[in-house]
């Protein structure tokens, strides 16, 4: 399993894709998973888990029969996640981009998704890529399902409004840097 220093080095080396060098605080993780209603949850999909700090909170939140699918493109993070969560039968780790989600949903017979939790730094990525991934999320969410994204700026709120038709924003000051949790419900 990669140590803290290796994970930090990986975040810095790939800053464009990771978007930050500090992992999310427990206040941010808690604010995100509070949105998840465990009673209504069969499938959660996490996009861009990094070292898995939010992944653990999601697993602690969901029930024994729920499944968590995780998409991560970074080789070092995915190897770390494989070891860190080796004993977690509810977790499916996918070493691929979130753009490819549909292929995997077919393979794993996923019909609908209850929650998407995303840490992908869309602010730093091309708009076409953001629109591609977020539109796929909207199409796969069940009625009443949620797309939950954290950011360090409100720049993309108008884009999320365009895609999902609504946004709700919580400010989390106790994070480095302070963060926004943007929630869109379908
Ligand atoms: C800000 S980090 C998230 C870190 C962690 N979730 C946290 O809260 O501290 C963003 C992650 O998104 C991943 N990522 C970027 N583009 C992606 C894509 N298209 N598909 C899947 N993962 C992606 C990066 O490799 C990186 O690990």
* Mean pLDDT, all residues of the chain: 93
* Residue 55 Cα to ligand 1 middle (Å): 12
Give the model's pLDDT for residue 79.
95
Which domain CATH number covers 113?
A: 3.40.50.150
Domain that holds residue 56: 4-185
pTM: 0.94
* Residue 8 Cα to ligand 1 middle (Å): 13
| Closest atom of ligand 1 to CA, residue 23 | 9
Stretch 92-108: mean pLDDT: 98
**How would you class 159 by CB atoms within 10 Å of its CB: exposed for 0-12, middle for 13-18, buried for 19 or more?**
middle
pLDDT (tens digit, 9 = 90+) per residue, 6-59? 666 766 666 666 666 678 999 999 999 999 999 989 999 999 999 999 999 999
Domain count, the chain: 1
């Amino acid at each position: 399993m990669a140590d803290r220093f290796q994970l930090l080095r990986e975040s810095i080396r790939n800053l464009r894709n990771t978007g930050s060098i500090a992992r999310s605080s427990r206040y941010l993780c808690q604010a995100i998973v509070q949105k998840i209603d465990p009673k209504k949850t069969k499938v959660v999909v996490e996009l861009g888990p990094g070292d898995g700090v939010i992944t653990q909170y999601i697993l602690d939140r969901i029930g024994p029969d729920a499944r968590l699918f995780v998409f991560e493109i970074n080789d070092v993070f995915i190897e770390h996640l494989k070891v860190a969560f080796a004993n977690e039968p509810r977790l499916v780790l996918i070493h691929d981009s979130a753009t490819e989600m549909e292929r995997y949903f077919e393979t794993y017979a996923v019909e609908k998704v209850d929650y998407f939790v995303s840490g992908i730094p869309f602010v730093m990525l091309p708009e076409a890529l953001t629109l591609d991934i977020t539109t796929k999320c909207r199409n796969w969410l069940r009625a009443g399902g949620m797309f939950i994204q954290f950011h360090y700026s409100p720049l993309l709120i108008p884009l999320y409004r365009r895609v999902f038709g609504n946004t709700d924003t919580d400010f989390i000051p106790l994070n480095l840097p302070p963060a926004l949790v943007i929630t869109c419900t379908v």
